[in-house]
């Protein structure tokens, strides 16, 4: 009979705490539970190993003995009454105090030969009840336009045939994921339903670039207005604004419009800023007279 590394079975280190053992056991037991893997012999064996590992590592005395002898267990003459005492020392609280409710539907199964030889007697405890497990989580993706993300609105998402009404708050970010509690798969043995996780993919088909709550855009300014000053009308995301252009405005100059950016997520009435970059547009297709005037200006400079 082969030595069984119970730490590897649960995927934990040898210095794992009781909390680590409990967490690892819950994860592995849920993964290999017979109700989740019907008619799967390999999962059934894994489930048995997971419970056996928990039986040993969650019990301080068993863990101490296991850690002491390890792979040298065959030579541990100190196990004189282990077999006789083992059956009498079976705890009755179910799965080593992990918080699962009773037996996990694995009745009538024996421990491995290794366990029997090292700790004596046994068989999985039978509490007459089955464990309750949370249902599987669902994951979905929803595509929005920038216009959709700019305003709070409602949508209906169909998941596994169920229509789920969503209120999507303005300012949702690209790649952001939200959780809707209890909209996943039904729980097992009366356990709670899983949750639904929705990831938002936001398609930007506007001239604005978004970084957090701020928006960025370029604004063309004709050469004459840039040199002499003036006014122009620029687009914000949902309206227009009149800008004053200072004389001799250089190419690449920026202006920040406070509160004209994207809505701040779940903070009604709060907005980021809009940062506009001036792009000076040179005149083209000059007439002969225009060229002469530019030459005169060149001479003056």
Task: State pLDDT tens for residues 80-128.
Answer: 444 444 434 433 333 333 333 333 333 334 567 667 666 665 444 433 3
Q: What is the pLDDT of residue 134?
A: 80
pLDDT digits (tens, 9 = 90+) for 197-210: 999 999 999 999 99
pLDDT of res. 72: 55
Distance CA 114, CA 92 (A): 22
Alpha helices in the chain (DSSP H): 6-10, 18-32, 41-57, 60-69, 82-88, 113-119, 146-150, 223-228, 288-300
Please give the Cα distance from 271 to 257 (Å, whole number).
Answer: 11
Most confident of 46-55, 62-71, 166-175: 166-175
pLDDT of residue 282: 92
pLDDT of residue 188: 75
Encoding tokens for residue 54?
């928990």
Q: How far is CA 104 from CA 4, 20, 109, 133, 221, in A?
A: 22, 20, 12, 10, 73
For residue 224, pLDDT beyond 90:
yes
Q: What's the CA gap between 113 and 78, in Å, rounded?
A: 18
Instruction: Please give the mean pLDDT across all residues of the chain.
Output: 82
pLDDT in tens, 225-250: 999 999 999 999 999 999 999 999 99
Look at 120 and 270; give whichever has higher pLDDT.
270
In terms of Cβ atoms closer than 10 Å to its own Cβ (0-12, 13-18, 19+), residue 290 is: exposed
Q: Which residues pair with 243 in a beta bridge?
A: 232
What pTM was computed for the model? 0.57
């Amino acid at each position: 009979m082969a030595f069984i590394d119970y730490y590897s079975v649960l995927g934990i280190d040898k210095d794992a705490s009781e909390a680590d053992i409990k967490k690892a056991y819950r994860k592995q037991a849920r993964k290999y539970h017979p109700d989740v893997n019907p008619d799967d012999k390999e999962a059934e064996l894994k489930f048995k190993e997971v419970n056996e590992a928990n039986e040993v590592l969650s019990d301080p005395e068993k863990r101490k003995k296991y850690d002491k002898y390890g792979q040298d267990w065959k030579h541990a003459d100190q196990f004189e009454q282990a077999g006789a005492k083992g059956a009498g020392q079976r705890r009755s609280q179910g799965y080593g105090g992990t918080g699962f409710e009773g037996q996990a539907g694995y009745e009538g199964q024996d421990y491995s030969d290794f366990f029997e030889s090292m700790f004596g007697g046994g068989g999985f405890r039978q509490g007459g009840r089955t464990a309750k497990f949370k249902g599987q989580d669902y994951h979905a993706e929803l595509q929005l336009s920038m216009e959709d993300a700019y305003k709070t609105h409602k949508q209906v998402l169909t998941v596994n045939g169920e229509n789920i009404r969503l209120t999507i708050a303005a300012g949702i970010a690209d790649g952001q994921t939200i959780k809707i509690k209890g909209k996943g798969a039904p729980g097992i043995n009366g356990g709670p339903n899983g949750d639904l996780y929705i990831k938002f993919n936001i398609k930007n088909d506007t001239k604005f670039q978004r970084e957090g709550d701020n928006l960025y855009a370029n604004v063309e300014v004709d050469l004459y207005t840039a040199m002499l000053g003036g006014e122009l009308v620029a687009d914000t995301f949902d309206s227009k604004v009149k800008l004053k252009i200072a004389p001799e405005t250089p190419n690449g100059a920026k202006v920040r419009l406070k509160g004209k950016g994207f809505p701040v997520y779940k903070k009604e009435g709060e907005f980021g800023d809009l940062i506009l970059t001036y792009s000076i547009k040179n005149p083209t297709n000059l007439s002969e007279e225009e060229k002469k005037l530019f030459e005169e200006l060149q001479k003056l400079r």
